[in-house]
Amino acid sequence: MTSSSLPTHARVVIVGGGMAGLSCAAALAKRGVSDVVLLEARTLAHAGASSYGETRMFREMYSDPVLCRLAQEANRLWREEESQAGEQLRETHGLLFYGESWDEETIEGSIPGARRVMDDQGIPYEALNAEQIADRFPLKPKADFTGLFEPTAGAVRSDKVVAHWIRSARNAGHQLIEHTSVQQLDADGGGVTLENGHHIAADQLVVACGIWSQLLLAPLGLAPKLEVWPMLWAHYTVDPALADRYPQWFCFQQERGDDGGLYYGFPVLSTTSDGRPRIKCGIDWAPKDLRVAEPNAMVSEPPARLVELLDTFLFNELEGVQERVETVISPYSMTSDVNFVLDRITPQLSLFCGGSGQSFKFAPLIGDSLARLACGEQPGVNLSCWSHKRPAVRA
Ligand SMILES: Cc1cc2nc3c(=O)[nH]c(=O)nc-3n(C[C@H](O)[C@H](O)[C@H](O)COP(=O)(O)OP(=O)(O)OC[C@H]3O[C@@H](n4cnc5c(N)ncnc54)[C@H](O)[C@@H]3O)c2cc1C
């Protein structure tokens, strides 16, 4: 887009076209707010950012009672979103937490912690031992492993959801402008300057730049403390005879040397271009030496030592895994307490960042809350756990 065809003013300017920016644009459309401009440096939900890919897990199985309640609220909003979209945006096939049960929280919680919270909040689950897990799924749990199966969890079809948000925003007349990088925010949050020097004034600004948020906020002295973790995931083809038996799973094991111990995987939800069933799996830790503060310094190629650990786990701990066919690195934006930042940080500027490996399931709540903030309201539920003022995110 040339400078002359770019707007000079909008009621709401959103910076960033990933999960947070797009869900906010769609939520503003739902509220009947027009005159919205979304600026994306590359393309919407592109492969170098955090929202890329076909699936994300959703669950209420949290060790943190507050996140468990917020996940319940998000699920209520997902149901509304699906009815508005007229299509199913999630697949409900359950989620198995299994592995070692030690009483310490990981970045995804723990088996004993999740069990306590589900008991307290009356969330249905099945408790399984290693033998029951091995009978039911093509997994090879160690004899001391235990499991929890949450039948109402599943996968958000993130690719479908992104398409739905883009449609909703465009139908409302919002401008979603790609290949347009914001270079600088006005000090008061009242506008943005693009790389080509063009200025867009905004009544309200929403910054949703994922791992790049610090770069825009640092000059204003408002940058939250974030780390960028390069996260490895891959698709593996599987034996067609077992294709309908893979669960959605998360395996908890304590760290051993190089091996961070946390692995996850999805059921077969897609095939390769030549029709072979495939599962998506990943590791859920990043070695300390690969974590960076400067977003553009993150490794972009899959590190061989991590690929080897993922292959070793998949080929040894699951049955029927055949070949790794696609290998990707995507960034986590991490706060030190592994919780997000969603807040109004000046009267005209609201922020979402720090989505870690967890925020997609909260997308309708995140979009709705950012839209409310941009309309001068408060979020519909108490989000003080995501405050930018908490010590964990103060730089
Ligand atoms: C591998 C992986 C697995 C995950 N699994 C799950 C899961 O199972 N369940 C779950 O709930 N969550 C999961 N998550 C978390 C969730 O996907 C992310 O937290 C979420 O997608 C982050 O979205 P975002 O919009 O904040 O960031 P991003 O998607 O990174 O979007 C930020 C956008 O801002 C743009 N941008 C940056 N700077 C500028 C600028 N100056 N001007 C214009 N545009 C700019 C970027 O190009 C980018 O497109 C996972 C994340 C990853 C990486």
pLDDT tens by residue, 140-158: 999 999 999 999 999 999 9
Please tell me the predicted confidence (pLDDT) of residue 101.
86
Q: Averaged over 229-234, what is the pLDDT?
A: 98
Ligand 1 pocket mutation, candidates 14, 96, 212, 366, criterion most atoms within 8 A of CB: 212
**AA letter at 346:** T
Please tell me the predicted confidence (pLDDT) of residue 155.
98
Q: Which of 103-112, 152-161, 315-324, 336-345 has the lowest mean pLDDT?
A: 103-112
Q: Give me the torsion for CA of 11, 16, 20, 26, rounded to 10°.
A: 50
Distance, CA 330 to ligand 1 centroid (Å)? 9
CA within 13 Å, CB half, 305: 9
Q: Averaged over 367-395, what is the pLDDT?
A: 95
Structure tokens at 86: 């007229």
Please tell me the predicted confidence (pLDDT) of residue 356.
94
User: Which amino acid residue places its CA nearest to atom 21 of ligand 1?
Assistant: 51
Structure tokens at 229: 């973790």
Please tell me the predicted confidence (pLDDT) of residue 108.
86
CA distance 355 to 361: 10
User: Which amino acid residue places its CA nearest to atom 26 of ligand 1?
Assistant: 210
User: Which amino acid residue places its CA nearest to atom 41 of ligand 1?
Assistant: 182
Ligand 1 site residues (CB inside 6 A) read: 15-21, 39-42, 46, 49-51, 56-57, 181-182, 208-210, 212, 216, 231, 233, 282, 330-332, 352, 355-361
- Indicate the pLDDT class of residue 345, thresholds 50, 70 and 90: very high
Homologous superfamily (CATH) of 94-154+227-334 is D-Amino Acid Oxidase, subunit A, domain 2 (3.30.9.10)
Distance, CA 139 to ligand 1 centroid (Å)? 30
CA distance 83 to 163: 15
Distance, CA 18 to ligand 1 centroid (Å)? 5
Please tell me the predicted confidence (pLDDT) of residue 295.
95
Structure tokens at 155: 């996968």
Please tell me the predicted confidence (pLDDT) of residue 394.
84
Q: Count of CB atoms within 10 A of residue 340's CB? A: 27
Distance, CA 241 to ligand 1 centroid (Å)? 35
- Indicate the pLDDT class of residue 131, thresholds 50, 70 and 90: very high
CA distance 368 to 346: 19
Homologous superfamily (CATH) of 3-53+158-225+337-393 is FAD/NAD(P)-binding domain (3.50.50.60)
Residue 395, pLDDT above cutoff 80: no
Q: Averaged over 4-23, what is the pLDDT?
A: 96
CA distance 85 to 171: 12
Q: Where are the domains of the chain?
A: 3-53+158-225+337-393, 94-154+227-334
Q: Averaged over 70-95, what is the pLDDT?
A: 97
E strand or H helix at 222: none
Please tell me the predicted confidence (pLDDT) of residue 279.
98
Residue 299, pLDDT above cutoff 80: yes
Please tell me the predicted confidence (pLDDT) of residue 104.
86
Distance, CA 112 to ligand 1 centroid (Å)? 29
Q: Averaged over 343-351, what is the pLDDT?
A: 96
Residue 1, pLDDT above cutoff 80: no
- Indicate the pLDDT class of residue 333, thresholds 50, 70 and 90: very high
Residue 102, pLDDT above cutoff 90: no
HEC readout, 122-147: CCCCEEEEHHHHHHHCCECCCCCCEE
CA distance 268 to 235: 10
Residue 4, pLDDT above cutoff 80: no
